[in-house]
Structure 1
């Protein structure tokens, strides 16, 4: 599971959808079908695009280490641990 891509879905989805709606409106297509189609395409492309952005961020981060996932004790963090 890639948690970063879940967070990025909101940002990337709004950028893609907004860009497509602006493109449709600048072409002079003011019907609800054109605007709804652009919004639907943006919605469908938001998850794959955010996954690609997430992978690129992690690939370029020198501090990212996939093997540290095994060091986590559980899903819920320790409540007595120091706040970061």
Structure 2
């Protein structure tokens, strides 16, 4: 369970939706379907992008050590430390 990516989902979704909307406007699409399509695309990619960002932040952190986490069972303990 990657709780950091869950926290990042909302801001990443807002930024991605805004970026896709600005891209659609710059390409000359000013109709509602373009705005709705950008919103759907931003919503659909919000969690995968947040997960990628979370992994990258943790990889670049010199104090992060994922080997400290114990791997037991298929469902992680919610009270356990971050994966």
Which of the five TM-score ranges fits, normalised by the shorter chain?
0.7 to 0.9
Q: CA RMSD in A?
A: 1.7
Higher relative contact order structure (alpha carbons within 8 Å, sequence separation ≥ 6): 2
User: Between Structure 1 and Structure 2, whose CA radius of gyration is higher?
Assistant: 1
Q: TM-score, normalised by structure 1?
A: 0.77
Q: Which runs of 5+ in 2 are unaligned?
A: 71-77
* Off by >4 Å, runs of 4+ in structure 1: none
What is the correspondence of 1:18-33 to structure 2 with a 5 Å cutoff?
A: 18-33=18-33
- The answer for the alignment partner of 1:75 in structure 2 is 79
- The answer for the alignment partner of 1:56 in structure 2 is 56
| Length, aligned pairs only | 73
Q: TM-score, normalised by structure 2?
A: 0.78
- Give me the whole-angstrom Cα distance separating, in 2, the residues matched to 1:50 and 1:38: 17
